[in-house]
Amino acid sequence: MIRCILEDTSGTSAIEYSVIAALVSVASIAAFMMLGQATEKQFQTVETAYAKAR
């Protein structure tokens, strides 16, 4: 019975796709966080320039 369970590979594709989806999710979150920080810095630059112009 244990041998049958160990040799069963029917769910491996689903597990592989889940791992790939998790990696893509983590990479996307990291990219969005970096984009958010860059956008915040740009807004601060504009705000500073606007404050000096007033």
Structural domain boundaries of the chain? 30-54
**Residue numbers in the chain where pLDDT is lower than 50:** none
**Residue spans of beta strands (DSSP E) within the chain:** none
> Token pair of 20, please?
């790939």
Does the pTM surpass 0.75? The reply is: no
Return the pLDDT at 36: 93
Among 17, 41, 19, 37, residue whose Cα is nearest residue 29: 37
Give 10's Cβ-side CA count (13 Å radius). Answer: 3
| Residues 6, 53: Cα–Cα separation, whole Å | 71
At 10, the amino acid letter reads S
